[in-house]
Amino acid sequence: MIFMMFQNGQSDMGIYITITVFFIVGLIMLKIGLYITKAEARTGIRWTLISFGVQVGIFFFVAAPLILMGISGAFGEQGPAVVLIIIFMILALFIDLHVLNVFHKLGIKKALLVFGMMAVPFLIVSFSIIALITR
């Protein structure tokens, strides 16, 4: 779908700029969340970037079955089942909370707060990517 969009010359730079800006906002929110929760370890920008990269990588790893099914056309016109989306979201939340806890030694409650702060930019990026793909 994306290849066909580039091949036909259709380009919407606004969505690409939105995705880039909100990835940067997500990174800033992670850094602010670590500062607010007074994280005990690995709060430098290097570790924040590594943590952010690992979380994005885990999202794509957890979502890989849905992405592969979508690419292969398994969903048809109706899209993935809502139950699958909920299961993958819960799994990603569980893994992300523990990644934050292990990287920064926050504790589950503080990790939930930091993840909640980062969830808003990630949701905006997700909806932007969906809007980009469904055109």
Residue 135 resides in a domain: no
| pLDDT value of position 62 | 81
Residue 3 resides in a domain: no
- Tokens 């990644």 appear where? 99
| pLDDT value of position 12 | 65
In whole angstroms, give the CA distance from residue 22 to residue 18. Answer: 6
Q: Is the pTM of this model over 0.85?
A: no
Residue 4 resides in a domain: no
| pLDDT value of position 18 | 74
Alpha helix (H) ranges present in the chain? 2-7, 13-36, 45-72, 82-104, 108-133
| pLDDT value of position 1 | 46
| pLDDT value of position 115 | 84
> What Rg do the C-alpha atoms of the chain give, in angstroms?
17
The tokens for 22 are: 């909100």
| Number of domains, the chain | 1
Residue 2 resides in a domain: no
Q: Identify the domain containing residue 55 by its residue range.
A: 11-130
pLDDT along the chain (135 residues), means of 10: 53 72 85 86 86 84 75 68 75 83 85 84 72 62
Torsions phi, psi of 105, nearest 5? 50, 55
